[in-house]
Amino acid sequence: MENESAKELWESFQQQIPNLPEQYDVWSFGDSKELADKSAALVLAGLKTATCSLKRLYDIEGADLPRVGIYSVILDGDGQAVGIIQNLEVFVFAFDEVTEDVAIAEGDRTVDYWTEAHKEFFKRECQSTGESFSTKMEVVFERFELVYAA
């Protein structure tokens, strides 16, 4: 099912920037309305310029890892498009090797906060796939820039 607000935002972006690719991703941050709203607001405020996900989930789904240059329409917790981001950097690291740069880019501001928040989130994701969380799990880091806002 296509998200109509995402389609409209992408079409508006296309009118301003020629030669954009036809393909783009559509998603929201986190696993709850509250987390999606909070993260989207941080992106729009310029305080969140990155996101992380478990590499294992890409492996399970047989999905390609994100790439530099791809565009994503970001949704809020109500499924409404709020902005478009473009990936600038993608790399993989072990969960327990998170750096201050990663934590700050994610909008979490400290490694300790990032670690606790992501440990709980990743545990929930692992449970949904029957996996066990480990601090040695690989994490996919995506640094992005907000290129268009609703």
What pTM was estimated for this model as a whole? 0.93
109 — pLDDT class (breaks 50, 70, 90) = confident
Decide: 31 and 122 in contact? Cβ < 8 Å: no
Question: What does pLDDT average to over the chain?
Answer: 95
Q: How deeply is 42 buried, as exposed, middle or buried, from its count of CB atoms within 10 A (0-12, 13-18, 19+)?
A: middle
Structure tokens at 86: 């473009």
Domain ranges (residues) in the chain: 4-15+22-149
Q: What's the CATH code, domain 4-15+22-149?
A: 3.10.400.10
Decide: 21 and 71 in contact? Cβ < 8 Å: yes
Q: What is the pLDDT of residue 1?
A: 54
Structure tokens at 146: 């907000």
pLDDT 10s digits, 12-56: 999 999 889 989 999 999 999 999 999 999 999 999 999 999 999
Decide: 81 and 149 in contact? Cβ < 8 Å: no
Q: What is the pLDDT of residue 108?
A: 83
In angstroms, the CA 25 to CA 86 distance is 10
